[in-house]
Amino acid sequence: MWNRIAGVILRNRILLIVLIGLMTVFMGYKAQFVEMSYQHAELLPTDDPASIDYQNFHKTFGQEGNVMFFAIQDSNFYQLDKVNDWITLGNDLAKLDGIDAVVSIAHTYNITKNKEKKRFEFESIFPKKLNSQKELDSIAAIAESLPFYKGSLVNNDTHTYLMAITVNGRVMGSKAREPLVKAVHQRSETFAKKHNLQMRYSGLPYIRVVMAQMIKKEMNMFILLSLLVTAIILFMFFRSFKVVFFCMLVVGLSVVWAVGSMVLFDYKITLLTAMLPPLLVVIGIPNSVFLINKYHGEYVRHRNKIKALQRVVSKIGNATFLTNLTTASGFATFIITSSKILKEFGVVASLNIMVVFVLSLVLIPIIFSFLAPPDNKATQHLDNKFTNKFVSTLEKIVLNHRKAVYLITGSLVIISIIGISQMKSTGYMVDDLPHDNTIYQDLKFFEENLDGIMPLEVVVETNKKNGALKLSTLKRIEKLNDSLKQYPTISASLSLVEGAKFAHQAYYNGKEKYYKMPSSNVKNIILSYLSKADIKGDVNIFDSFIDSTQTQTRMSFRMKDIGTTKMEQMEKVILGHVNQIFPKDKYKVTVTGSSIVFFKGTQYLIKNLFLSLALAVVLIASFMAWMFSSKRMVLVALIPNLIPLIITAALMGYFGIPIKASTILVFSIAFGISVDDTIHYLAKYRQELKITNWSIKNSVVLALRETGQSMMYTSIILFFGFGIFSLSDFGGTVSLGVLVSVTLLSAMLSNLILLPSLLLTLERLITNKSFKEPLLHIFNEEEDIELDDLKIAYSETKETDEIEVGL
């Protein structure tokens, strides 16, 4: 089959170049429409109970994670010019398209009782402009005397003042959010600079926009870095700008195709898919290295360019196909997670890894068929003293020191088991950011001064019309709020109870001691006053806290970012209090919100990523069994690739790197890539068995010499290629880059030392008849495509006869 493929490629060079060129133009055109994702990663499947609860909450009460916060600390806040500017800032922000509401201590409402009309009147406490310091002092005293706002908009102990803006749901999920957040930031910074204050920012809309901008910036940086790093390494190996250029051309085209395919699938750029273009550069280069190394080696052997190019495809095409297939399989297993962000990453990554294989297999032979044959300078890398010495050292270890190899391997496994026992699993909303990052520091500021910003919602369902307004229900809500006040990681709630207390205080002419739940006698009077309320301005305290039938109500809390492990414990604590306070036969209480969805999504993801890793091992083992037709050989081949994963897991335990979504990716990716070396080595080993009349010792050594150099080249490229991710601002990306680099480097040594050692030790036990006669045929050294079928034309050159493919 691969002989026929070689013939098709070399006979149809112009046609294939035109087709690839047209497809690249099309993909390039599509790529310009790729968009950033501004949504929070959907980690849970849509049919998960937690996801269903969250969606039901949105349908009933609207979006809870669409609030942006910013705050200042100022012991002299109540100064006339400063407060006027603060009022103006809020009013200007409210006029921006996409802002539904603005709340701060200077944008609050008071409730007053109109005895004559028997109704409440809602009026702004602060005017649009204050005329004197005396007026400001008087109004500020009124605002800060209202318990309804204490602790939520103002922290008097730390002199912290909050402004919260609600972003419209239409803008939240679109690219319009980025210029909106930018406009908010510019206006608030103008205020802060004028009064020499530091403005702190947080809230999910702000965090997501800033992180999306960081992802976009990093994607462009990593694409350039991956091209630069691999180009430098390639030049160091081949000492040829020509080779470097064409290798970069192949992976460059694959990047264009990858971004274009994202648009075709209607996928947006996320933290994961942003890594795909540089990953394709790093993963795609080894294809070109193996192909060019084989081409140079074949040409040196018989000085026939076309024959060498034909053998490049026919002799290592199937092994290269399987190595790319195993790598793609490592990514494809993410599709089973049912997580949208991982599924998209798995689809695009696995597909485009096979695309870069096809581009390499087609373009490298075609390009070099048009170029002059490699001269002695171009093939000098085959006799590189360093690599030859390196391979020679490996030979000596494999032949003479196998006991030491097994002893060291066993010791590493024992040490690794101890390290694995120390691994922990947790995740934070912004733990991917370094602690000196402004987003992280501002989040901690809000946690210390204003109880955090992570939304937590408790929905109380009574199943009775008007049941949410019953005094018994409200008292149970109050009791739950009082019970949860003892936990410092959670804020006081905002609910109908606080509204009822505020109205009760207003009914008694604003006296602070009456900020409490009304009695059964007064409750109906207050409801009557509220039903006839005169509301001046955009305020209605009931709209987002009760459904249209008045059967459901919500309690809104804010949580600190305490991590998934502590969050799981906190959920159990909350549910424990809920079960004590709300009888299950009368109430259905649901705990939901972004904080719950995040921690359950992270747990779900980790569990499913372990399953995807197991699937990757089974799938790749199946491919190898199909290739080698030997179960025992597959088991031996898996050992050198599983041990590096064990070592990496141990490093995570020893260095305190937790298991989370970003770090668990390491194992599937690294395993899918590291097994490539095993396939290349065993493919060559099987070839050598035929040539050496089934001499296992000679075949092991010859395969080591043949593949050792290419495996070293590709492993170094992969090591430094993944190493560039250590420059990321995201901790998960840094861990991914460092851990994959270490895993692949140890996998190279394992495949070049442990695998040959096992082959020699087990000898006849694993090299059985089925391995000698595999399902996939591998060509021997002299089995070629019929050159006459290529319609070759001969032309004289000064140095040698060159065989050219006729058009």
- Range scoring the smallest mean pLDDT among 35-39, 223-227, 568-572, 701-705: 35-39
Is the Cα torsion angle 303, 307, 309, 315 positive or negative in sign? negative
pLDDT for 566 equals: 85
Q: How many CB atoms lie within 10 A of CB 555?
A: 24
| Percent of the chain whose pLDDT exceeds 70 | 91
pLDDT for 800 equals: 37
Amino acid at position 670, single letter: A
Integer Cα distance of 231 and 228 in angstroms: 5
- DSSP letter (8 states) at residue 182: H
- In three-state secondary structure terms, 558 is strand
Distances (CA, A) of 197 to 160, 286, 602, 626: 12, 53, 37, 67
Q: Please give the sequence-ordered ranges of beta strands (E in DSSP) within 141-185, or none if there are none.
A: 154-155, 160-167
Integer Cα distance of 563 and 725 in angstroms: 24
Strands 200-202 and 119-124: unpaired
Distances (CA, A) of 547 to 55, 523, 528, 773: 15, 20, 19, 71
- DSSP letter (8 states) at residue 13: H
Q: What is the 3-state secondary structure (H, E, C) of 390-450?
A: HHHHHHHHHHHCHHHHHHHHHHHHHHHHHHHCCCCECCCCCCCCCCCCHHHHHHHHHHHHH
Integer Cα distance of 391 and 684 in angstroms: 15
pLDDT higher than threshold 60 for residue 782: no
Q: Among residues 146, 149, 172, which one has the least CA distance to residue 161?
A: 149
- In three-state secondary structure terms, 590 is strand
Give how far the C-alpha of residue 109 lies from the chain's centroid of Cα atoms, to the nearest Å: 42
pLDDT for 313 equals: 85
What would the pLDDT profile of 143-177 be if each residue is shown by its tens digit? 888 888 877 888 888 999 999 998 887 777 677 77
Cα radius of gyration rounded to whole Å, the chain: 33
pLDDT for 314 equals: 82
Integer Cα distance of 329 and 619 in angstroms: 7
Q: What is the 3-state secondary structure (H, E, C) of 196-227?
A: CCCCEEECHHHHHHHHHHHHHHHHHHHHHHHH
Integer Cα distance of 46 and 344 in angstroms: 15
Q: Among residues 477, 501, 478, 481, which one has the least CA distance to residue 491?
A: 481
Give how far the C-alpha of residue 794 lies from the chain's centroid of Cα atoms, to the nearest Å: 54
Q: How many CB atoms lie within 10 A of CB 528?
A: 12
What phi-psi label fits residue 198: left (phi over 0), alpha (psi between -120 and 50 degrees) or beta? beta
Strands 534-535 and 119-124: parallel
pLDDT for 28 equals: 94
Query: Between 661-691 and 276-302, two packed helices, what is the crossing angle to 10 degrees?
Result: 10
Amino acid at position 733, single letter: T
pLDDT for 90 equals: 93
What would the pLDDT profile of 475-507 be if each residue is shown by its tens digit? 999 999 999 988 988 988 888 898 889 989 989
pLDDT for 771 equals: 52
pLDDT for 38 equals: 64
pLDDT, greater one: 380 or 27: 27
Q: How many CB atoms lie within 10 A of CB 712?
A: 21
Do the Cβ atoms of 187 and 92 come closer than 8 Å?
yes
Q: Which residue has the tokens 């996801």?
A: 51
Do the Cβ atoms of 236 and 477 come closer than 8 Å?
no
Does an H or E element contain 250, and which?
Answer: helix 241-264
Integer Cα distance of 614 and 634 in angstroms: 15
- In three-state secondary structure terms, 376 is coil
Question: At 404, is the pLDDT very low, low, confident or very high (cuts 50, 70, 90)?
Answer: very high
- DSSP letter (8 states) at residue 725: G
**Token digits of residue 489:** 């990681």
Integer Cα distance of 307 and 295 in angstroms: 9
Integer Cα distance of 741 and 373 in angstroms: 35
Query: Between 241-264 and 276-302, two packed helices, what is the crossing angle to 10 degrees?
Result: 140
| C-alpha torsion angle, residues 52, 58, 60, 62 (rounded to 10) | 180
Q: Which CATH class is domain 2-37+208-421+598-803?
A: mainly alpha
**Token digits of residue 395:** 């030979």
pLDDT for 258 equals: 92
pLDDT higher than threshold 80 for residue 315: no
Is the Cα torsion angle 626, 630, 632, 634 positive or negative in sign? negative
Backbone phi, then psi, for 145, in 5-degree steps? Answer: -85, -10
pLDDT for 145 equals: 82
pLDDT for 588 equals: 93
pLDDT, greater one: 190 or 429: 190
pLDDT for 86 equals: 95
Q: Among residues 323, 358, 309, 252, which one has the least CA distance to residue 714?
A: 323
Do the Cβ atoms of 317 and 778 come closer than 8 Å?
no
pLDDT for 403 equals: 92
pLDDT higher than threshold 50 for residue 805: no
Question: At 793, is the pLDDT very low, low, confident or very high (cuts 50, 70, 90)?
Answer: very low
Integer Cα distance of 150 and 169 in angstroms: 28
pTM value is 0.73
pLDDT for 785 equals: 45
pLDDT for 661 equals: 65
pLDDT, greater one: 152 or 643: 643
pLDDT, greater one: 779 or 21: 21
Do the Cβ atoms of 230 and 256 come closer than 8 Å?
no
User: b/e for 505-527, b at 16 or more Cβ within 10 A?
Assistant: bbbeebeeeebeebeeeebeebe
pLDDT for 711 equals: 82
pLDDT for 289 equals: 83
Integer Cα distance of 505 and 514 in angstroms: 5
What would the pLDDT profile of 575-608 be if each residue is shown by its tens digit? 999 999 999 989 999 999 888 888 888 777 777 7
**Token digits of residue 737:** 């880059």
pLDDT for 292 equals: 87
Residue ranges of the domains in the chain?
2-37+208-421+598-803, 49-205+438-597
Give how far the C-alpha of residue 496 lies from the chain's centroid of Cα atoms, to the nearest Å: 38
Q: Among residues 773, 751, 799, 771, which one has the least CA distance to residue 398?
A: 751
Q: Among residues 565, 614, 571, 624, which one has the least CA distance to residue 593?
A: 571
> Mean pLDDT of all residues in the chain?
83
Arithmetic mean of pLDDT, 191-206: 91
**Token digits of residue 314:** 């026919």
pLDDT for 76 equals: 92
Q: Which residue has the tokens 């790598």?
A: 327
| Percent of the chain whose pLDDT exceeds 90 | 24
pLDDT higher than threshold 70 for residue 56: yes
